[in-house]
Each structure stands twice: as structure tokens, then as C-alpha cells.
Amino acid sequence: MSEDRPNLEIAPQDVAGLSFAVVASAFNEPVVRQLLDGATACFAEHGIGPERVDVAWTPGAFELPLAARAAVETGRFAAVVCLGAVIRGATAHFDFVAGEAAAGIQRVSLDSGVPVLFGVLTTDTLEQAMERAGGARGNKGWDAALAAMQMVKVLDAYRGRGEAR
């Protein structure tokens, strides 16, 4: 096993000509809008303009997996980024929504072989969500977009479409 740090940097040739989908939850929209801004900024920094990023909104985080599956089924996208914010309340609703959204997103990715990234915040408070949506703790939308491009690079290397790094 190598002790070297893995090369997950994204070069222009790693994403040249690729398109990405983002499915975003409209529930907690002010938080999710910040995540979306982070994701699109990350794509733009890596040479992927808005014409290569398709954004679709779902009512809530629970619906993200179905929208992600629909995006994957088009065959147009190298990866799908799922963005949302599930904030704990006084009921068990949080546990069901967060858990099922995570399981569904993972299932779409594993079943399809297309990277489907979990950019859904699961926090106790709105303040914690805002910290992770462009505040003191960075922007998890940015992180999810970067991870999408990194996974495309990893899978391309395994599938023989790119060089192993």
C-alpha cells in the first residue's frame, strides 16, 4: 500500500466535454441555494460552465434519489450531485428523511455505476446548516461537486478511459 497522498486534483482534461446534473431540495431552500451556489462555483472553477450543469429542484430531500435516477437514466451526465438540508426538529421525521435520502442516493449510484454524490446536510440547527453552506465550515455543495469530478476521474482510470494517477 502506498504512503503517497492520492492525486485527486482535477485537470481540465479530466472533465473536458463532460456534463453534470445537480438535483436540489426546495425544502430549506435558503440553505440549499447556498449549497447550489458553491457547487456551481466549483464546476465553473474547473472549466464547467452553466451550459454543462443541469439543475433540477425536488420538493424535499426524500425525493432526491428518484430525481437522481431520472438524471442518470438520460445517459447525459458524468455524475449527479444531490443537495439538500435536513434539519432536526422535535419529531423523528429527521431520522427517516435523512436516512432514506442517503440510502436512496447510494442505491442509485451503486445500481447505475454513475457517481451520485450525497451533498445533503444533516444538522441539528439552522445555524449549523448555514455554517456548512458557505459559512465558517466551508461549503458542502462545493465539496460535493469536487467529489463528483474526482469520482469521474477515479472511475475513468478503473474503466480504462483515463490514466491511473
Q: Active-site residue 46, yes or no?
A: no
User: Among positive and negative, which fits the CA dihedral 70, 74, 79, 81?
Assistant: negative
Which residue is catalytic, options 7, 11, 29, 93? 93
What are the catalytic residues?
93
